[in-house]
């Protein structure tokens, strides 16, 4: 078989590499064989017997700590050895409530907050449309003054000066109305366009639903009392020696944030209150955290 020039070149390179390797290993073997023998150092053992010696102890810096200060035993102190607090969880407000152990209650905690939330409601618009009568071209709406409870009939162009409103238009037309657990139907729906002179804007009312302002208010009462007080965000009032300030009101979940200031308190008491009916039911149903139902 003929050998071409590239194969000859590869064979020659392989032969040169083999000769080089043989020469390198031969040179290393010759150096090892001709290297002078170095004397091995002699190990001399001590003649004296072994005696253990202890290491010197490190210097220890002694520092006296100052005695710890007394803990604050105010209303916020709820922890102590072997007297854990009772923790409740409200599924409605998604918040934990911590009740101090009875052995740790001081005069401030025993006093109680002195205020309960009865309910939270959205504020209805001061004019409501709840019905209609008449015929096409002569429709009349049934309106209610939400402030006084007065009910009256009115049509397009009717002014309501007591409320600072005027009814610009009133129309009754069929609309698709969805019903719960049923198919949608077409029904006559009365729609009124009202001009609000206070806000200088138009408000649309329908007789199928109440119209709200977008703000909320709450009813509060002293514990055990049925007489309620209507409050809004920012209101401040006094019950006995305590002054209460409504910081926040919300509907979902229904709750208010209240700050109480009293001569008997060393600092303001801030709490989030939920309606007392809900709070009572949930406290009775929900066991304290960390306990078995």
Q: What is the pLDDT of residues 170-195, one digit of tens each?
A: 999 998 887 777 777 888 999 999 99
State the pTM of this model: 0.50
Instruction: State yes or no: pLDDT of 41 exceeds 90.
Output: no
Structure tokens, 285? 């149903």
Nearest to 256 by CA among 270, 241, 238: 270
Residue 292 banded pLDDT, cuts 50, 70, 90: very low
Give dist(CA 257, CA 270) in Å, integer. Answer: 7
Mean pLDDT value of segment 155-176:
93
Residue 106 banded pLDDT, cuts 50, 70, 90: low
Mean pLDDT value of segment 235-255:
91
Name the residue with higher pLDDT: 94 or 74: 94
User: What's residue 287's pLDDT?
Assistant: 46
Q: Which residues of 34-71 are buried (b: 16+ CB within 10 A; e: fewer)?
A: eeeeeeeeeeeeeeeeeeeeeeeeeeeeeeeeeeeeee
Question: Which sequence spans correspond to the domains of the chain?
Answer: 86-103+114-122+215-285, 126-210
Compute CA 78 distance to the chain's CA centroid, rounded to the nearest angstrom.
23
Instruction: State yes or no: pLDDT of 219 exceeds 70.
Output: yes
Answer whether 192's CB lies under 8 Å from 179's CB: no
User: What's residue 56's pLDDT?
Assistant: 80
User: What's residue 90's pLDDT?
Assistant: 62
User: What's residue 20's pLDDT?
Assistant: 81
Greatest mean pLDDT among 11-25, 68-82, 85-99, 258-272? 258-272
Name the residue with higher pLDDT: 110 or 124: 124
Contacts of residue 216, Cβ cutoff 8 Å, sequence gap at least 6? 120, 121, 122, 123, 233, 249, 250, 251
- The strand order across the sheet containing 254-261 reads 236-239, 242-251, 254-261, 269-273
Considering only 35-39, 106-110, 169-173, 234-238, which range has the smallest mean pLDDT?
106-110
Instruction: State yes or no: pLDDT of 279 exceeds 60.
Output: no
Give dist(CA 220, CA 260) in Å, integer. Answer: 14
Residue 288 banded pLDDT, cuts 50, 70, 90: very low
Give dist(CA 219, CA 63) in Å, integer. Answer: 60
Give dist(CA 150, CA 134) in Å, integer. Answer: 20
């Amino acid at each position: 078989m003929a050998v071409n020039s590239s194969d000859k070149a590869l064979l020659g390179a392989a032969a040169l590499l083999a000769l080089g390797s043989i020469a390198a290993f031969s040179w290393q073997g010759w150096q090892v064989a001709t290297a002078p023998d170095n004397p091995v150092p002699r190990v001399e053992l001590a003649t004296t017997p072994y005696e253990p010696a202890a290491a010197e102890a490190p210097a220890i810096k002694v520092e006296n700590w100052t005695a710890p200060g007394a803990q604050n035993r105010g209303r916020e102190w709820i922890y102590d050895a072997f007297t854990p607090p009772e923790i409740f969880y409200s599924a409605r407000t998604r918040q934990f409530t911590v009740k101090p152990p009875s052995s740790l209650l001081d005069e401030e905690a025993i006093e109680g907050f002195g205020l309960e939330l009865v309910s939270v409601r959205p504020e209805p618009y001061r004019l409501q449309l709840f019905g209609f009568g008449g015929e096409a071209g002569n429709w009349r709406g049934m309106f209610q003054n939400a402030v006084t409870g007065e009910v009256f009939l009115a049509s397009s162009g009717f002014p309501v000066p007591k409320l600072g409103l005027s009814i610009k238009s009133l129309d009754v037309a069929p609309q698709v109305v969805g019903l719960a657990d049923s198919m949608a139907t077409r029904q006559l729906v009365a729609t009124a366009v009202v001009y609000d002179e206070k806000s200088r804007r138009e408000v649309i009312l329908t007789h199928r639903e109440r119209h709200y302002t977008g703000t909320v208010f709450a009813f509060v009462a002293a514990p055990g009392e049925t007489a309620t007080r209507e409050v809004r965000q920012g209101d401040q009032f006094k019950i006995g020696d305590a002054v209460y300030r409504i910081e926040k009101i919300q509907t979902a979940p229904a709750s208010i944030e209240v700050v109480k200031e009293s001569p008997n308190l060393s600092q303001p008491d801030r709490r989030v209150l939920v309606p007392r009916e809900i709070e009572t039911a949930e406290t009775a149903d929900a066991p304290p955290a960390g306990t078995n139902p």
